[in-house]
């Protein structure tokens, strides 16, 4: 019987430090490793290649085997492809819904080849742009009068998930732990804020547990800022930029790599990131799913 090519990663912090060399391509896996090592998240189990301690190849899987992530250096593509072909850790079934998250563009062909072989047909592809926040450029960040920026509270997280395009299925308590412990930002109405206030992204207070924000974003288990949205009646006020910048700075202050994925048909978000000072477009990535 063939030996399982993947083994459980024992030291997530050391693994994160190793793949740090591969920025920006490894940003999501790096952040996710830190999130799990610091007990902000407990969603994924991480694996490395058996007998190859020098390798940068990483795979993560959730318990239900519906969410998968992979990373490897370009010269390790054959190794990763062979391991994905041989592993018994993945449930390759046509009637099963699963997704490979933010696959780097140079890994897409290898993952697709394995999936096509296992399933008899290719996975569906959703292409995204990656925007990364430079961490050495933080001009003053201001919040307008009548508003305040805080981490998301329970009502904010619940509302965010209920209105999300992709994350409705996630558990409120699980995301609340991420929002409070890692990074999130919401703009709340505050009648007591009579003038513009300076936002200290490194010391944002916890948001009210029983109120919904006007705009919001949070870091998710796979390491990127996501679920960005502004209530329709409050759009065109710069609130999305405000929460994204506050959450990005909050991530950077904890040693994470602030970044976000933007679907290629999402013109408003693409234009917002393109004009935000300190954010730059990096590589493309692919979400691959049944």
Closest CA to 262 of 223, 217, 226, 219: 226
Would you give the end-to-end CA distance of the chain in angstroms? Answer: 29
pLDDT tens for each residue of 218-264: 999 999 999 999 999 999 999 999 999 999 999 999 999 999 999 99
Reference 9, options 62, 47, 50; nearest CA is 47
Domain spans in the chain, listed from the N-terminal domain onward: 6-130, 142-256
Cβ–Cβ < 8 Å for 81, 262 = no
What architecture is the 6-130 domain classified under in CATH? 3-Layer(aba) Sandwich (3.40)
CATH of domain 142-256: 3.40.630.30
In whole angstroms, give the CA distance from residue 280 to residue 276: 8
To the nearest whole number, what is the mean pLDDT of the chain?
Answer: 95
Residue 85 has pLDDT above 80, yes or no: yes
Three-state SS for 222? coil
6-130 and 142-256 share one CATH topology? Answer: yes
For the question of whether the overall pTM of this predicted structure is more than 0.85, the answer is yes
Which of the residue ranges 114-123, 165-174, 234-243 would you say has the lowest mean pLDDT? 165-174
Say yes or no to pLDDT of 193 above 80.
yes
Q: Which residue has the tokens 């994905």?
A: 84
């Amino acid at each position: 019987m063939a030996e399982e090519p993947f083994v459980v990663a024992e030291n997530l912090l050391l693994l994160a430090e190793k793949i740090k060399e591969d920025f920006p391509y490894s940003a999501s896996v790096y952040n996710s490793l830190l999130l799990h090592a610091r007990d902000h998240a407990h969603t994924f189990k991480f694996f490395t290649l058996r007998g190859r301690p020098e390798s940068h190849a990483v795979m993560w899987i959730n318990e239900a085997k519906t969410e998968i992530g992979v990373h490897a250096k370009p010269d390790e593509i054959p190794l990763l492809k062979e391991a994905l072909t041989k592993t018994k850790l993945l449930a390759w079934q046509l009637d099963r819904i699963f997704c490979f998250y933010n696959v780097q563009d140079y890994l897409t062909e290898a993952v697709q080849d394995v999936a096509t072989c296992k399933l008899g047909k290719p996975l569906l592809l959703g292409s995204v742009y990656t925007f990364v926040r430079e961490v050495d450029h933080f001009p003053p960040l201001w919040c307008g009068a009548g508003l305040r920026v805080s981490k998301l509270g329970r009502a904010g997280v619940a509302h965010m998930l209920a209105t999300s395009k992709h994350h409705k299925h996630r558990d409120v308590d699980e995301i609340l732990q991420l929002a409070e412990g890692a990074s999130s930002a919401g703009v709340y109405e505050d009648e007591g804020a009579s003038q513009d206030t300076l936002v200290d992204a490194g010391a944002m207070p916890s948001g009210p547990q029983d109120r919904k924000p006007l705009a919001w974003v949070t870091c998710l288990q796979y390491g990127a800022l996501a679920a960005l949205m502004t209530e329709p009646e409050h759009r065109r006020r710069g609130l999305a930029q405000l929460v994204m910048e506050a959450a990005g700075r909050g991530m950077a202050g904890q040693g994470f790599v602030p970044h976000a994925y933007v679907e290629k048909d999402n013109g408003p978000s693409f234009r917002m990131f393109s004009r935000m000072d300190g954010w730059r477009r990096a590589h493309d990535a692919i979400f691959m799913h049944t």
